[in-house]
C-alpha cells in the first residue's frame, strides 16, 4: 500500500454499511449520521462515484432507513445487498469489485463502527484496497466504542478522514484529471474551472449547517488514538 493514498473519483467506490430502520433509537447520533450519509450521496452524484449498500439481516432489522436518499442515485447504486456476515465483503461484493479492477479506494461509512465497519475495513485492507473511513459518517450504540474502532483501522493501514475533507480530495483529483497538475495552483484559481465544480460548491454551501451539526455531535469524542 502506498504511503499516500489519494482519492480519485474514477478509482473510488462508496460503501454504505447497514444504516437500517431498527437502529434509529439505538445508535448514537443516528440523525446526524444520516445527514452525513446524504451529503456523501450528493457528492457521489456530482462526481459520478458508484455506491454499494448492505443491509444486515433486513427481515429482523429493517431496510436502509428511508431518510437516506438511495433512489436519487439511479444507476450509481450498483448494489444493495442483504448480508448475514458482519463484514461487507460478502461474495457478491467481492464479485462486484473483481469486475471493476479500476477501483483502488473504498470510502466507508455506516454502522456499527466497532463491528461491521471495522470488519469491513480490515477485510478491504487485507484485499489490497485503500480504505478511507468517514469519521463523521460512522457510529455505534455506545459512542465510547468509536475512537477505538477508528484507531484499530488506522493501525491496520486505513485512513481516517471527514466527509468534507474526502469530498474536496475527490474534487481536486477530478480537477487534476481534467487540467493536469501544472494547472492546479495559480493558473486556474481555486480549482473553480472544473466542469461541475459549481454543483459541488453548492452542495458544500447547502450542507454547511449540517456539517457543523454533525461535526459537533459525531466528532467530539473521536480523536484518533
Active site residue 116: yes
Active site residue 205: no
Out of 17, 39, 42, 83, which one is annotated catalytic? 83
The active-site residue, picked from 17, 18, 39, 217, is: 18
Q: Determine the structural domain holding residue 156 and report its residue range.
A: 9-218
Which pLDDT score, from 0 to 100, does residue 127 have?
Answer: 97
Q: Which of 116, 123, 191, 217 is catalytic?
A: 116
The C-alpha cell that represents 83 in the structure block: 448480508
Q: Count structural domains, the chain.
A: 1
Say what the pLDDT of residue 3 is: 65
Give SS3 for 12.
strand
pLDDT at residue 148 in the model: 95
The grid coordinates of residue 124 equal 478491504
**Any domain includes 197:** yes
Number of Cβ within 10 Å of residue 19's Cβ equals 27
Backbone dihedral angles phi then psi of residue 79, each to the nearest 5 degrees: -165, 140
Helices (DSSP H) in the chain: which residue ranges?
A: 30-47, 58-61, 91-98, 118-126, 145-155, 163-179, 197-206, 208-218
104 is catalytic: no
Position 55 in a domain: yes
CATH code at position 74: 3.40.50.850
DSSP string over 87-114: SS--HHHHHHHHT-TT--EEEEEEE-II
**Each residue's pLDDT expressed in tens, for the chain with a length of 225 residues:** 456 889 999 999 999 999 999 999 999 999 999 999 999 999 999 999 999 999 999 999 999 999 999 999 999 999 999 999 999 999 999 999 999 999 999 999 999 999 999 999 999 999 999 999 999 999 999 999 999 999 999 999 999 999 999 999 999 888 777 766 655 444 444 445 555 788 899 999 999 999 999 999 999 765 554
Amino acid at each position: 500500500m502506498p504511503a499516500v493514498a489519494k482519492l480519485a473519483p474514477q478509482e473510488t467506490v462508496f460503501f454504505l454499511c447497514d444504516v437500517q430502520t431498527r437502529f434509529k433509537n439505538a445508535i448514537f447520533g443516528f440523525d446526524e449520521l444520516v445527514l452525513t450519509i446524504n451529503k456523501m450521496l450528493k457528492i457521489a452524484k456530482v462526481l459520478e462515484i458508484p455506491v454499494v449498500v448492505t443491509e444486515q439481516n433486513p427481515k429482523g432489522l429493517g431496510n436502509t432507513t428511508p431518510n437516506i436518499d438511495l433512489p436519487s442515485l439511479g444507476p450509481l447504486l450498483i448494489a444493495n445487498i442483504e448480508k448475514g456476515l458482519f463484514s461487507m465483503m460478502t461474495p457478491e461484493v467481492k464479485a462486484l469489485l473483481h469486475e471493476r479492477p479500476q477501483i483502488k479506494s473504498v470510502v466507508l461509512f455506516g454502522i456499527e463502527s466497532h463491528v461491521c465497519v471495522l470488519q469491513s475495513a480490515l477485510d478491504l485492507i487485507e484485499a489490497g484496497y485503500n480504505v478511507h473511513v468517514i469519521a463523521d459518517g460512522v457510529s455505534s450504540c455506545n459512542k465510547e466504542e468509536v475512537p477505538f474502532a477508528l484507531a484499530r483501522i488506522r493501525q491496520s493501514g486505513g485512513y481516517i478522514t471527514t466527509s468534507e475533507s474526502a469530498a474536496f480530495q475527490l474534487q481536486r483529483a477530478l480537477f487534476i484529471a481534467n487540467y493536469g497538475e501544472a494547472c492546479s495552483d495559480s493558473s486556474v484559481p481555486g480549482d473553480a474551472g472544473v466542469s461541475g465544480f459549481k454543483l459541488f460548491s453548492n452542495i458544500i454551501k447547502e450542507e454547511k449547517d449540517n456539517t457543523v451539526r454533525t461535526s459537533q455531535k459525531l466528532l467530539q469524542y473521536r480523536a484518533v488514538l
